[in-house]
Amino acid sequence: FLLILFLIFSIFVFSEIKIGVLLPLTGGISAFGDWTKKGIELAYSQKSTVLGEKITLVYADTRSEKTEAANAMARLIDKEKVVAVIGEIASSNSIAAAEIAEARKVPQVAVTSTNPLVTQGKKFVSRVCFIDPLQGTALAEFAGKTLKAKKVAIFVDIEQDYSVGLTNYFKERFEKKYKGQILEVRYKSGDQEFSAQLAQALAFNSDVIMFTGYYNEIALAAQQARAMGYKGYFIAGDGADAPELIKIGGQAVEGLYFTTHYVPEAAKTKIAKDFVDAFKKKFNTLPAMNAALGYDAYMLIVNAIERAKSKDPVKINEAIRSTKGFQGVSGNIDIDENGNAVKDVIIVQVKGGKFTYVTTIGPEDLK
């Protein structure tokens, strides 16, 4: 009898629900990983139980690369037995991990991976952000309509699905609707020297240089562009959105416009304002975009577990996929039939060394 009592007791005390967190905690885009982790930590400190059980977060580092993203996903599911996974950040890494999640039938919720392929044809992969056809169109509208651009030189990171995709979606709209000219110049994640590409952009006489890669290379290329005498505009996609862009780029990124998912200044709802306050209190700094989306990804999964009333990954996935009107700190989230969130695109400018809200473009403005 004592043994049975002990067993019941131990089930009660030791039972836990494990959620995996797959992030680039080291390597080229570790700043994105750090910020996302901070957002998830805050969310966890506010809600760490579900269905009467304790939630345990299991972190896995992808080292900012695809192979390790897939390995880490397999480890989280096979060894740690997580019931759902948050992550990754970069589309290429999320795509690599998604193969594994899909095969094992465990739900994955990508944070800011915007390439369509992340969720395409998959039943177990969703995300809390908009996708690149929308983001590319928004950038093309901004370049064509607001900046009156005629010639755009695009810096493409050929290692990143995100960069290649965003370039194409931009091109489609900008060439068709604005009859603009485009020059593509290529580089690879980790490159530090861009003078050859910049010489081409200068010879092309571009009035806008657009970056479709990530903050490190954007900051360095912008510095080198100004040093070579480039006077035109800089624009970029959400890959620019980490405070590290300004830390590395300094004065050279002043004035740069980029599209993104969230900026604390535009927080209007009570839950968005409370998030900014709680984040400042815990970390002594404003939340970066990835912190807000990480927070939302965690809360959305926990909410789905509650609605599923089950620890079964398949049931949790059904609940994630049928999310409607979920109140996130980055806005309301509806998950559509493909696992994508339907959300607005925000445009931000670097002004006085800070990210400053410029405008919001909704899906209905981009038809």
Query: Which spans of this chain sit near ligand PHE (rule: CB under 6 A)?
Result: 32, 89-91, 112-115, 162, 238-239, 241, 290
Provide, rounded to whole angstroms, the least separation between the CB of residue 294 and ligand PHE: 10
Assign 3-class secondary structure to the chain.
CHHHHHHHHHHHHHCEEEEEEEECCCCCCHHHHHHHHHHHHHHHHHCCEECCEEEEEEEEECCCCHHHHHHHHHHHHHCCCCCEEEECCCHHHHHHHHHHHHHHCCCEEECCCCCHHHCCCCCCEEECCCCHHHHHHHHHHHHHHHCCCCEEEEEEECCCHHHHHHHHHHHHHHHHHHCCEEEEEEECCCCCCCHHHHHHHHHHCCCEEEECCCHHHHHHHHHHHHHCCCCCEEEECHHHCCCHHHHHHHHHHCCCEEEECCCHHHCCCHHHHHHHHHHHHHHCCCCCHHHHHHHHHHHHHHHHHHHHCCCCHHHHHHHHHCCCCEEECCEEECECCCCCECCCEEEEEEECCEEEEEEEECHHHHC
Provide, rounded to whole angstroms, the least separation between the CB of residue 155 and ligand PHE: 15
Provide, rounded to whole angstroms, the least separation between the CB of residue 11 and ligand PHE: 40
Q: Nearer Cβ to ligand PHE, position 212 or 323?
A: 212
| Entry field: residues in the chain | 367
Nearest position to ligand PHE, beta carbon = 162
Provide, rounded to whole angstroms, the least separation between the CB of residue 186 and ligand PHE: 17
Q: Nearer Cβ to ligand PHE, position 120 or 181?
A: 120
Provide, rounded to whole angstroms, the least separation between the CB of residue 254 and ligand PHE: 20
Q: Hey, what are 22's tokens?
A: 């797959």
Q: Nearer Cβ to ligand PHE, position 260 or 323?
A: 260
Q: Nearer Cβ to ligand PHE, position 17 or 341?
A: 341
Provide, rounded to whole angstroms, the least separation between the CB of residue 213 and ligand PHE: 9
Residue at token pair 């970069």: 90
Cis? peptide before 172, omega within 30° of 0: no
Q: Nearer Cβ to ligand PHE, position 83 or 90?
A: 90
| Amino acid in the structure at residue 338 | N
Q: Nearer Cβ to ligand PHE, position 131 or 320?
A: 131
Q: Nearer Cβ to ligand PHE, position 17 or 242?
A: 242
Provide, rounded to whole angstroms, the least separation between the CB of residue 89 and ligand PHE: 4
Q: Hey, what are 167's tokens?
A: 């370039």
Provide, rounded to whole angstroms, the least separation between the CB of residue 305 and ligand PHE: 25
C-alpha–C-alpha distance, residues 202 and 367, integer Å: 33
Q: Nearer Cβ to ligand PHE, position 117 or 272?
A: 117
Provide, rounded to whole angstroms, the least separation between the CB of residue 289 and ligand PHE: 6
Q: Nearer Cβ to ligand PHE, position 50 or 218?
A: 218
